[in-house]
Amino acid sequence: MELVAPRFGVWVPVHGNWGPTDYSKEKHDASFARAKRIVLEAESLGFTTTLVAQHTINPLGQEFDELETWTACAALAALTERIEIIAAIKPYLYHPAVLAKMALGIEEISHGRFAINFVNAWYKPELEKSGIGFAEHDQRYEYGGEWLQIVKRLLEGERVTFSGANFHLNDYSLKPVSRWRERPFIYAGGESVPARNLASELADAWFINGQPLFEVEALIADIRWRRRSNRRPLRVGLSAFVIARERDIEAREVLDWFWEEKKKEDWSHLYANVDPKAQMFKTAEKYPHIGTNGGTSAGLVGSYDTVAERIREFQAIGIDTFMLQFQPFLEEQKRFAAEVMPRVYARSSPELSRGHG
């Protein structure tokens, strides 16, 4: 079966790095200058999208820098020409009317290349210490469902009157709306039952955390039968940390090195402050990995041919977007673009998606 070429994207390292900080002497750097270098190079290399995760404080510790998502995305939108810019958003941090206005502003700056990624939050201190408060898991999804309904309608240019448990809007609308399409694209993350319901009902695409092929296949099968509010198929993306080398044994040696480095770091603060209902960390217990959001447990570790073949296997079960992490970032994203992407494209249809219409 011939597959349409997938979309490849990069996770901007908002925490500083995605793996142990000592590897290859790559220092902790969560600056905008670094994010700019990574995204501009990714665009030039042919990556089609980039995701900027959202935390107000660094989950590895408040003493570490953390890139601010929405100001960074506005700047990246102005500096780039083709790549899709995705900003993650936790609904408790912004009122939906304010957030929708911000999203439409970046849509204008980017000329129709902006998207939001709805996430429910799992790191308790950033909401608790700020005084916002960290509600129970399912309650956060009830709040988030109302929030996303409002944001989606405002992005589409509706005059919104809404009365719910959490929000009340009266004849509210925003201008200008997108000049390039119906509205900015909406991704959603999370694998709990409430997360799947929300993604199926309100999102355009669903991000799955990296994990073995059979687990991803079961997740996709599950969400396909859930209620969908429009006729467009729900697209599916996968997160992964890539280690690609000429030979499988070389990639395994690098992975082993990462594990040794990870043992030197103290992760107790992070795990002590995680929502115990967060599915991502339940999956992490089952499939330990390097990187975040499933990382190396997606299996994109091996020779260039091995990694390309694993990508094609994920494509065959419904993954069309791969959101990737690397370390050292610039060096490894160049390697992936030079060695893995051509191998994937050689077996794919020439129709390469550059964004969303």
Report the relative pairing of strands 235-241 and 160-163 from DSSP bridges: unpaired
Q: Token pair 């091996």 is at which residue?
A: 302
- Start-to-end CA span in the chain (Å): 26
- Say if CB 297 and CB 215 are below 8 A apart: no
DSSP secondary structure code for residue 123 in this structure:
B
- Say if CB 118 and CB 148 are below 8 A apart: yes
**CA dist., res. 213 & res. 298, Å (int):** 7
Residue type, 100: A
Residues contacting 47, CB < 8 A, separation 6+: 8, 9, 10, 83, 333, 337
**CA dist., res. 275 & res. 124, Å (int):** 7
- Written as six digits, the tokens of 161 are 């009157």
Full set of structural domains in the chain with CATH: 3-349 (3.20.20.30)
pTM of the model: 0.94
What torsion do the CA atoms of 315, 47, 89, 114 make, to the nearest 10 degrees? Answer: -110
Class of residue 40 by CB neighbours under 10 A (exposed 0-12, middle 13-18, buried 19+): middle
Residues 114-170 pLDDT 10s: 999 999 988 898 999 999 999 999 999 999 999 999 999 999 999 999 999 999 999
Residues 66-92 pLDDT 10s: 999 999 999 999 999 999 999 999 999
- Which is nearest to 333 in space by CA: 51, 45, 86, 83? 45
pLDDT of amino acid 5: 85
Class of residue 264 by CB neighbours under 10 A (exposed 0-12, middle 13-18, buried 19+): exposed
Instruction: List per-block mean pLDDT (blocks of 10 residues) for the chain, which spans 357 residues.
Output: 82 84 69 97 98 92 92 98 98 97 98 97 91 92 96 98 97 97 96 93 95 96 84 92 98 94 81 82 87 94 98 96 95 97 84 54
- Written as six digits, the tokens of 284 are 């992490």
Class of residue 221 by CB neighbours under 10 A (exposed 0-12, middle 13-18, buried 19+): exposed
Compute the half-sphere exposure of residue 112: CA atoms within 13 Å on the CB side of its CA. 10
Average pLDDT, the chain: 92
